[in-house]
Structure 1
Amino acid sequence: MAFLPTSYEEMKQAGLDSVDFVYICGDAYVDHPSFGCAIITRTLEAFGYTCAILAQPDWNKDEEFLQFGEPRLGFLISAGNIDSMVNHYSVNRRRRDKDNYSDQGIMGKRPDRATIVYSQVVRRLFPHANILIGGIEASLRRLAHYDYWDDAVRRSILIDSQADLLMFGMGENTIIEVADALNSGMKIQDLVYIRGTAWKTKSLDSIFDDYIVLPSYEEVKTDKYAYAKSFMIQHENQDAIQSKMLIEPYDGWYVVVNQPPLPLSQEEMDFTYSLPYERTFHPKYTYIPAIEEVQFSITSNRGCFGNCAFCAITSHQGRIISTRSVESVVEEAKTITKMKNFKGYIHDIGGPSANFSRPACDKQREYGACAKRECLWPRKCPNMKVDHSHYVEMLDAVRELPGIKKVFIRSGIRYDYLMYDQDDTMFDRLVQYHVSGQLKVAPEHVSAEVLDKMGKPRKELYFKFVDKFYQKNKQFNKNQFLVPYLMSSHPGSTLKDAIELACYLKKIHHTPKQVQDFYPTPGTLATCMYYTEMDPRTKKPVYVAKTYHEKLEQRVLMQYSYPKNYALVKKALIKAGREDLIGNGPKCLIKTYPPRMVSKKKSSKKHIDK
């Protein structure tokens, strides 16, 4: 099966004079099921619709947007696999020097706020064409949202982009329902009933469904309490079954958000991943760095009931887990083994949380996820069913295939869910077969106050996991290590909490090579805390490290052993009244006097979480 056409010439070579949809994407064209563009266009193709892909067009050249002519049914517009602002800027708002989703990693192939820019260009060139926006950038900006880069509350992207319809969440079913409706002759203005869509209107007279009117844009952009109230209503209406329609008033307009799309059934998931992807980038490119980790990886599930405060997966994919059949995953693995550059290693089988392979409890498929209760925080819900059997069966089946040397798990193990399993089979399999020397896990912090704001389990459970991991290594005669993912400057993290984390790192002899500073991105509970400086769940004040210096203090404490950080670490310890951590004692973070700088590089030892 060939790639879909990416130029007028390729469209003609495919025997097409025009297409049903032109998909405009901020990423280079990679025909792999880890890329939203590939999934949506292959799904449309499977249902008989034709697509052309306009990948990373120069937004200053009209001819690039004009080359396919006006598509019969509409333009589909996405910024790509990640938000264009996150793609372009670090947490310090500095321009990145590499774009992993562009040819050879070259930066500058897409504009800032790509969804808006592309949509406005299309609206100018094709005033009467249908414009439908989607992808992660549109999905998480479907309503008014705090924008870290503007340091202000922005309007719904549906308003700013001048698009006709916004599709949010995982969109296979949504796009086919939209395509079928347009194909039948319906006007896009009449597509007001489809799950997973947002639309705008000047009157609510024709809406008869049960809905909630949110605080207006004018309110949330000036009143942080109103913003927090609006966010919590949205947060509690993300479940496909229990949620209500949400309406946000603007000056002269209403943005209407329908219920989220239903989670895919196993049969639907199997269908999506059975489509004829090329599993690589279009031959017109030299190399797309983003293919490296995913080309030989397999998505086995979607959704996440972990619902960490700093993560937007729940807002995009929902809390109810969708999973594939063992047979479907095995077939994809067989396809991978036939690829000419495959060397026997499956890099990953997983999803947002690799070991979530069933809904959190039996009632979720029928009644949905609880609006005001979490599955894993502050403690495990008594209704939760902890069961790894499907995932274990899947891993075993792929591992035993001819041509497979090793199957790794790199997409993230929820260590708390693993610890709650009374059956050690999954833990044993993990240690025996699925760790590539180091296993990355995400305790994120050790401070109880910070972990509560994150929606993460307390440190004691993580410590038990660490002990059990090394016990299992000893049992199976393995020499494998844990690498903890930790975050600085999360809302709620004070200088005191940062020092507590540094002391833990000292205890386990671990210095992170890179520090993940909290990044306020649209759609997350933690971003709401960051902006409003309150916990929207309780409306109580939350300390937020906002200035560059405050964030720097917490970051350098995680790398307290670096000589270049000595002065800053010492200043932070004195500021916090923790001079007891300065000196020659075994618990001290730094010496009394700065280390003598040497020019020669010394070999670094492996840091072990032990």
Structure 2
Amino acid sequence: MQELKLSDWLPTTNKEVKIRGWQELDVILFSGDAYVDHPTFGPAVIGRLLESFGLRVAIVPQPNVNDNLQDFVKLGKPRLFFGVTGGCMDPMISNYNANKKRRDKDAYTPNGEIGFRPDYASTVYSNILKEKWPDTPVLIGGIEGSLRRVTHYDYWSDKLMPTILESSKADMLVYGMGEQPLREIIRLLEKGVPFKSINTVNQTAVLLNKGEEIPKNKNWEDVEIASHEVCLKDKKAYASNFKIIEQESNKLAARRIFQRVGDKMLMINPPYPTMTEEEIDASFDLPYTRLPHPKYNKRGPIPAFEMIKFSINIHRGCFGGCSFCTISAHQGKFIASRSKESILREVDTVANMPDFKGYLSDIGGPSANMYKMKGKIQSICDKCVAPSCISPVICSNLDTSHKPLTELYQAVDSHPKVKKSFIGSGIRHDMLVPEFNRNADPKELDDYTEEVMTKHVSGRLKVAPEHTSDPVLKLMRKPSFSYFHKFKERFDKINIKNKLNLQLIPYFISNHPACEVEDMANLAAETKDMGFQLEQVQGFTPTPMTVATVIYYSGYHPYTLKKVKTPKTRKEKDEQHRFFFWYKDENKAWIKNTLNKLGRHDLLKVLLPENDSWRKNKPGKTKHTFDDAVPFNQRKNKAKFKPKKK
């Protein structure tokens, strides 16, 4: 790998602009993250994409908003526009945990330091730019803008907020992955079309002023949802909006959405079709240095970069449509897969990095095992409005073959400098269970599972059943926990056959809408009976643009408009979370008292029997051996876990 020069990165200062011999910039990007020139970091992707169009692009990472705001004027005024993003995560997720306490680390800042990213960063940056440069267009994007494009519930302020276009005063919003809309925006600008007149580009949103004419497009149908003001007064109206928003976001022939905000009109244009293999390859093949900007050399490592430094992203999108997840809202439910050739080129680039030791940390994506999966008959997908392709059952039109993925892993491992490639992304274990995934060849599923377990895992395989309660799982758009039992049977069989001694680590969520204390007690008892002492647990965090968040705020399910109970107080949340840690002494008396009040002596006998061998284990350790593993549903004396009556 040839030695890099400062000019190999996008410029971040006037000095770097001059090194390139530029007198003027076309676009200046502002980002809430430190600048890492890598295809996993959105600001770098957008910067490199704009550069590929022949534009002179600079980036101002983590501008200081607490001084004289010099960072917002130091590079002057761009010829075309300012681009703004809060970063690779919503800044409120970066800054706060589920209990609204400020985090002590920011993964996208050198040394994990905090204080370099303001709350609601896109809004803060955009407002400053509009104040400093009122005549220069501001275009916002990234996950913060994407998920806040309509009236949304903000958990941290505990109120409904209007479209981010209103609060940020930005001129345009690009939602989702930005390559396709930006290509068209730049084409129109270079053709001489004024920025203000660009309002019919797919996957963009603008706020039209009172009296401004609505642009015509004969190819689009229109739909108007309840106004922001109506949503503020009527929670059911707010909930009903979301069904339209989610369905239109995931349709291949979507309608244009309108929403009144005061005396203005929000217009959200339909998304682009899923990126083709050639388009997504082109994005990953841009000339990234794959490294943080040299300005951070003395400030310490950037945790998010260290985690993905030697990883390969093989696709975008997720057709799971989980109620608590924002991936499909941002990347879409249809999978955009890279070609094997593009992936192997990147593997070769990584393998030849000076500090590569032979280990790839991840060959994955939003879900590890959705690569190359799509509809068998495209015309069926064209008409589909379902938010998930695998809930409540796997669509019969979905090709779920894991063979291309198994072959890809083998091709990656054949590289002479790769000693081992790991799968660090979450694996959809339910898709590996023939009883659930009836579309697939059972042998293919077993071949993939065995390939992963024998060659791509180091000690632990992490999966996410999320819960054990069928009513909660149904609302989550996750399959019955019975399929986790079946997956564990296959896992144990392969484990014993190959003498692997691997651990299966399940992730679970507490406090999710529809989840009650008794559900968590069932979860604790059933997982304990399976041999798990849980470590990987989390509380539900409401984030904009998810079904679960709409329910959390409104109390109504957006698809049925029926009431759904949700734990909201700190006391309710803490009590649910305590069941994860039944093995800790400080929780035992409370659990005993709670289960006695609920009349669930059956669960108490499982969690806290008088002669409990689990007491000998140290808290935080997982007791899980496989030499004598007996599938739960084959045990003679298995506990009976009955769901509460709903």
2:141 pairs, out of 129, 134, 157, with 134
2:574 pairs, out of 549, 552, 571, with 552
* Counterpart residue type for residue 207 of structure 1: K
SS at match of 1:218: helix
Deviates more, 1:107-116 or 1:183-192: 183-192
* Aligned-pair CA distance for 1:572: 3.0
* Aligned-pair CA distance for 1:592: 11
Number of aligned positions between the proteins: 604
Say yes or no: does 1:100 pair with 2:122: no
Partner of 2:171: 164
SS at match of 1:284: helix
Partner of 1:257: 268
Partner of 1:461: 483
What is the CA–CA distance in structure 2 between the aligned matches of 1:234 and 1:508, rounded to whole Å? 40
SS at match of 1:237: helix
What is the CA–CA distance in structure 1 between the aligned matches of 2:567 and 2:447, rounded to whole Å? 42
| Residues 96 and 590 of structure 1: CA distance in aligned 2, closer, same or farther (over 3 Å) | farther
Say yes or no: does 1:111 pair with 2:118: yes
Give the TM-score taking structure 2 as reference length: 0.90
Contact 1:217/1:248 (<8 A) preserved: yes
Contact 1:345/1:405 (<8 A) preserved: yes
What is the CA–CA distance in structure 2 between the aligned matches of 1:235 and 1:115, rounded to whole Å? 23
Superposition map of 1:43-192 within 5 A: 43-60=49-66, 61-192=68-199
| Residues 34 and 575 of structure 1: CA distance in aligned 2, closer, same or farther (over 3 Å) | farther
What is the CA–CA distance in structure 2 between the aligned matches of 1:85 and 1:369, rounded to whole Å? 36
Partner of 2:420: 406
SS at match of 2:303: coil
SS at match of 1:52: strand
SS at match of 1:71: coil
1:213 pairs, out of 217, 224, 234, with 224
Contact 1:326/1:393 (<8 A) preserved: no
What is the CA–CA distance in structure 2 between the aligned matches of 1:444 and 1:603, rounded to whole Å? 19
2:41 pairs, out of 21, 35, 38, with 35
* Aligned-pair CA distance for 1:371: 0.7
What is the CA–CA distance in structure 2 between the aligned matches of 1:246 and 1:529, rounded to whole Å? 22
Contact 1:483/1:608 (<8 A) preserved: no
* Counterpart residue type for residue 296 of structure 1: F
2:365 pairs, out of 344, 347, 351, with 351
| Residues 337 and 504 of structure 1: CA distance in aligned 2, closer, same or farther (over 3 Å) | same
What is the CA–CA distance in structure 2 between the aligned matches of 1:369 and 1:456, rounded to whole Å? 23
Say yes or no: does 1:25 pair with 2:39: no
SS at match of 1:368: helix
| Residues 542 and 605 of structure 1: CA distance in aligned 2, closer, same or farther (over 3 Å) | closer
| Residues 299 and 365 of structure 1: CA distance in aligned 2, closer, same or farther (over 3 Å) | farther
Q: After superposition, what is the alpha-carbon deviation per residue over 1:348-395, rounded to whole angstroms, capped at 9, x for unaligned?
A: 111111111234322347843621463211112222222112212211
Partner of 1:334: 348
Contact 1:352/1:411 (<8 A) preserved: yes
* Aligned-pair CA distance for 1:152: 1.0
What is the CA–CA distance in structure 2 between the aligned matches of 1:572 and 1:196, rounded to whole Å? 50
Partner of 2:635: none
* Counterpart residue type for residue 253 of structure 1: K
* Aligned-pair CA distance for 1:225: 0.8
Partner of 1:14: 20
* Aligned-pair CA distance for 1:454: 0.3
What is the root-mean-square deviation of aligned Cα atoms in Å? 2.1
Say yes or no: does 1:543 pair with 2:565: yes
Contact 1:406/1:434 (<8 A) preserved: yes
Partner of 2:505: 483
* Counterpart residue type for residue 281 of structure 2: D
| Residues 207 and 574 of structure 1: CA distance in aligned 2, closer, same or farther (over 3 Å) | farther
Say yes or no: does 1:228 pair with 2:239: yes
Hey, which bits of structure 1, 4+ residues long, moved more than 6 A? Answer: 600-603
Q: After superposition, what is the alpha-carbon deviation per residue over 1:440-489, rounded to whole angstroms, capped at 9, x for unaligned?
A: 00100010011001000001111111100111122233221210011101
* Counterpart residue type for residue 6 of structure 1: T
Partner of 2:639: none
Q: After superposition, what is the alpha-carbon deviation per residue over 1:297-325, rounded to whole angstroms, capped at 9, x for unaligned?
A: 11101111111110111111111111011
What is the CA–CA distance in structure 2 between the aligned matches of 1:537 and 1:331, rounded to whole Å? 44
| Residues 604 and 496 of structure 1: CA distance in aligned 2, closer, same or farther (over 3 Å) | closer
Partner of 1:394: 408
Q: After superposition, what is the alpha-carbon deviation per residue over 1:118-140, rounded to whole angstroms, capped at 9, x for unaligned?
A: 00000000010010000000000
Partner of 1:527: 549
Superposition map of 1:350-389 within 5 A: 350-364=364-378, 367-368=381-382, 370-372=384-386, 374-389=388-403
SS at match of 1:236: helix
Q: After superposition, what is the alpha-carbon deviation per residue over 1:547-600, rounded to whole angstroms, capped at 9, x for unaligned?
A: 001011110101111123234433432442334544xx5x2336699x99x9x9
Contact 1:355/1:388 (<8 A) preserved: yes
Give the TM-score taking structure 1 as reference length: 0.95
* Aligned-pair CA distance for 1:196: 1.1
| Residues 366 and 358 of structure 1: CA distance in aligned 2, closer, same or farther (over 3 Å) | farther
What is the CA–CA distance in structure 1 between the aligned matches of 2:379 and 2:338, rounded to whole Å? 15
What is the CA–CA distance in structure 2 between the aligned matches of 1:155 and 1:523, rounded to whole Å? 13
Contact 2:508/2:536 (<8 A) preserved: no
What is the CA–CA distance in structure 2 between the aligned matches of 1:575 and 1:8, rounded to whole Å? 68
What is the CA–CA distance in structure 2 between the aligned matches of 1:206 and 1:178, rounded to whole Å? 16
* Aligned-pair CA distance for 1:261: 2.2
What is the CA–CA distance in structure 2 between the aligned matches of 1:402 and 1:323, rounded to whole Å? 25
* Counterpart residue type for residue 384 of structure 2: C
SS at match of 2:248: coil
What is the CA–CA distance in structure 1 between the aligned matches of 2:542 and 2:363, rounded to whole Å? 28
| Residues 4 and 244 of structure 1: CA distance in aligned 2, closer, same or farther (over 3 Å) | same
What is the CA–CA distance in structure 2 between the aligned matches of 1:214 and 1:502, rounded to whole Å? 42
SS at match of 1:435: coil
* Aligned-pair CA distance for 1:280: 1.7
* Counterpart residue type for residue 37 of structure 2: D
* Counterpart residue type for residue 248 of structure 1: Q
What is the CA–CA distance in structure 2 between the aligned matches of 1:572 and 1:150, rounded to whole Å? 32
Superposition map of 1:598-609 within 5 A: 604=621, 606-607=623-624
SS at match of 1:228: helix
1:244 pairs, out of 250, 255, 263, with 255
Structure 2: any 5+ residue segments left out of the alignment? Answer: 630-646
1:495 pairs, out of 505, 509, 517, with 517
